[in-house]
Structure formats: structure tokens, C-alpha cells
Structure 1
Amino acid sequence: MKILMLNYEYPPIGGGAANACFYMLKELAKYPDVQVDLVTSSPSNQFETLEAGNKRIFRLNIHKKKLDHWTMPEISLWGVKAYEFALDLAGKEHYDLCHCWFGWPSGLIGYRLKGKMPYIVALRGSDVPGYNARLSNLDRFVLKPVSRIVWRNASKVIANSEGLKNLALKTLNCNIQVIHNGVDLEEFKPAEEDELRKRQYKLRLISTGRLIERKGYDSLIRALYQQPRFELTLIGDGDQKYELWKLARELDVQVKFLGRLDHRAIAVHLQAADVFVLASQGIESGISLLEAMACGLPVIVTDVGGTREL
């Protein structure tokens, strides 16, 4: 079986969808009869190709500026380049399926290639109309009409939570299957020894994810005010980093900003923490929460969407 996979996010670029894609490829690598070609974005200013086992990764140069933030020009440029590249691949290879991460622009590319192969759409969050308040005008005049066409013609539409599915149904009443995110239990697991969690005076809180507004990190930092026994470790990067650092300094609370880390390093820090906190308002299913639970951490979370389902 040959699969053409389209995702503008792939580590080190992006967040949850990038990580989910990474681990899906890792699992598919266990099946020698499955060949996967992934078309994604390059973190450098050049085209890159990686071949390993049964997968090929094509990284298109879109002059990416920030690994954790997307602009509409960047997404649009990737959409144009990815369509041209995928069209060329489809002319050379016989694919059985096109797996589109995000309804747009990947889903739109899948729709355009429908004559060559069936396609499925994996909804992730911001690609669903109504999810991101910043895109309200774009939702009404562009994303909703495009989404209806793309979803209606897809062989399967998949959401990663019931909350995201219900939001998508407001755009088009169609058959949407829910498949929650997974976690690699070989990588994320409780510490073998209790040395990492030796009892200390301070309670070590940890949270992982992009430092953006909807993640609620500002509320989390404010909650630490006048709580000297708590210290917070934030793993991730994003547009809110300086604002959050400034807030922590003004409130005189103990927050460590570790920036972007690879999966192994994240697992080590989770194993050493006491409590995982997720203050996100997003309705998608959070991979970071699953990773923390897999490491045996007690969790404090907001009662929303995919988090409630877990």
C-alpha cells in the first residue's frame, strides 16, 4: 500500500499535529508493505529529502521564519508548492490513498487530486471554522465554503475529539469519525526509580505546549502568585514567551522557561515533576496531557473539549 501524506507541520516545525504525524510514521514503519511519502515544510531555506526504510519525507522551502508560529502567507505558499509537488508525485507513483492533515490547505490539495486517489481528512483544530477567533472573517467567506467541499468529497473525515467533531458539524452535517490522539508508551513512561521525584520543599508543576494565548499560561502563572512552595516549568516556545516571562517577573513567581525540547528531554522533565497542569481552552485532544499521564503524573486540567473526554 502506498500513502501520500500531506502536512505542513512536522518536527521541528509545529505542535500537536506535527508530533502526531511523527508518531504515526514511526508506527507505520513497522509495516514493510506500507510505503509513505510525506510532503511537509522545511525548517531551513532549502528543499530537503529524507529517505528511511519505508518512508520518504519531502520538505518544501517556504522561507519559514518561526518554528512555532504560522502566517497566512507561509501556509498559502506551502499550499501552492505542495499541490505542485504532490501532483508531480502522483504522476510518477501509484498511490492508494492521500492522508491530509488539516482540512486546509492539505485537504484542498487532496480534493484537487481526487481523480488520482481517494483522500481522507484529519481535522486538528485551527482548520475547523469557528475554532480560532482570529480567523472569523476568513471562516465566513473562505474556510466554510472550502471546508464543505473538501469534507463532502472525502472518503473519511476524522476529528481528534468529540468537541472538535461537534464544532465541525456546525459547518457541514456529515459523517465524522473520532479518533483520539495516542502516545508512545516506550518513550513516555513513569521513571524507573524514584530518585527523580525525591520529595522537596517545593511542589514542581510542569506544562508543555506552544506559548500562545489559547493555552492559558497567563492564568496559570497568575495562579502561582503568593504560592512560594510552587515552581513551574514551561516547555515550549511561542509568541507569548516574552509576555509570560515579564508577567512571571512582575508577580515574582518561580517559572522556568526551557523552550523547545525533543521528545526524550520532555519525557525526562515529566518524570521529574510532581504535577502536570493544562490550562488550555482548546477543544482538541491534547497530546501533552497524554504524555504526562503516560509518565504517571497526576494532572490538573481545564474542563473543556478533548480534555474532558480523556
Structure 2
Amino acid sequence: MKTLGYYNGKFGELEEMSIPMNDRVCWFGDGVYDAGPCRNYKIFAIDEHIDRFFNSAGLLDIEMPVTKQELKELLQEMVQKMDTGDLFVYYQVTRGTGIRNHVFPEGKANLWIMLKPDTVDAGDKPIKLITTPDTRFFHCNIKTLNLIPSVMAAEKAKKAGADETVLYRPGKRVTECAHSNCHIIKDGKLITAPTDNLILPGIGRAHLIRMCKKLEIPVSETPYTLEEMFAADEILVTSSSKLCLCADELDGKPVGGKATELVNKLRQALLKEYMDATE
């Protein structure tokens, strides 16, 4: 199959799938999701993603309809049905189905899965960034379906001819990007925002930190500002499908380019980790 969808036990091409109008996603966006890349029919970092998925659901009191192992087996079963093994694997749960009511319905969540062909960005070309205030709520550590601020920020980047939007809070504290984590390198040290309730604990972020420690690159998980980002030796952007991108422009101004050797070392090591795990 070229694409594949799943909803509570039903399979089909994505354009063939449908959902009940009373699924709470329609009224409230009431659910959580996770996603990651697959290569050679092997889903990368699947256990880490599923752990985060279940944690997001637990923080919102969503009753999962499957166990972690059952979900892992279902995802792998679906991957094997695809024409290509290079995929983007997306899954979400919504709180249930019922007449619109803010109060939770009883019962288990609805499980959705979506597979489509995709590949990981090798990160060999620099990207352009813009900035915008972070207007999201204070539960950014939960990977919810409420993504309107991120959608608007991503559209703003597109219209500006940029690749991503850096979000910042009052005081110009940098949090993350519209759909990525961001980091800076200064004086040979990686600085990344702490995993509080203002950012998503990204899987790509975790792999970047672990790789830095493996390569004996110091890591500081502390808040930093836009001013520090502009003055950084390098600006990095990571996500599950963009392992390590480097920016050369921020709000139309040139940035980075002062620690190219270190960035290439990190990028190549992360790409090798991904390739080896999905060989």
C-alpha cells in the first residue's frame, strides 16, 4: 500500500478512512499523538516514542485502548503492509466518542494510525529561521493535538521564505520551534532549553544530548535568550525526522558558521546512529 490508515481496528488507504463526527477530536481536539521515522521497515527509537505517547496520555487522564507492546506490534504489522519501508509513522489517541460535552465520556480512547512514505533529512543544507512570540499554553510538555499556534507559526515561516519559526516567551526566553526543538552552541558547549512545561521533551533532542556526551561535548540544559541565540556560534534544530539541522539565517540576519567542524561531527554521528539502527 502507498499510504495506510487505522481507526479502532479498521484499516485502509488514507483517503478511504473516515471517523465518527462525535469523536472528541472534532469538538475539542481532545487527544495526544506521537510520530517518528521508519527506514527499511524498521521504526526508529520506537520504545522512546511509545513511552512519551503513553506519558502524554497519562498526563491528560486518557485511558489507552492498547498496551505499549500491543501498539508496538500493531505499528510493525502496519509497516510491513507498505510498498516502501521508508516511512513517517504517526499515531494518536482521542479521548472517546460521544455527544459534545466538556466533561469526559466514559471508556477507552480511540486509536488512530497513519503511515506515509517519507525520509529523514540528512541535514547537509543550512536552514533559515524566523522568530515569533510563543503564544501557546503552559502544557507544552504534553504532545497534544491542540496545534493552532504551531500551525500559524509554521505558516509564517513559509510566507517569509524560511524553514522554521523560533518561539520565545516574555523576557525573550527561547523555548522551541513550531515543530522542532532548537539549541545553540557557544564556546564548544551545547545549550538547550530545560524540559519544563514550556517545551516538548523531543526524542531528537534526547539523542542529540546523548551524542554530545558520547563525543565529550559539554551540555547545559538551561534557558537562553534570543540575544544569546543571535550571538551563538551555531544554531541547531532537531526533531524525529530532522536529526540535526544547522541554521545560517535568523530573522534575515546571518548567524552561526563559527563551529562548522563540531556541527558536522555531531550531524554525521547522529545520522550514522540512525542508519545503523535501521539497517
Calculate the TM-score normalised by the size of structure 1: 0.26
Greater fraction of residues in helix: 1
Greater fraction of residues in strand: 2
Calculate the TM-score normalised by the size of structure 2: 0.28
Q: Which is bigger in relative contact order (C-alpha 8 A, separation at least 6)?
A: 2
Larger radius of gyration: 1
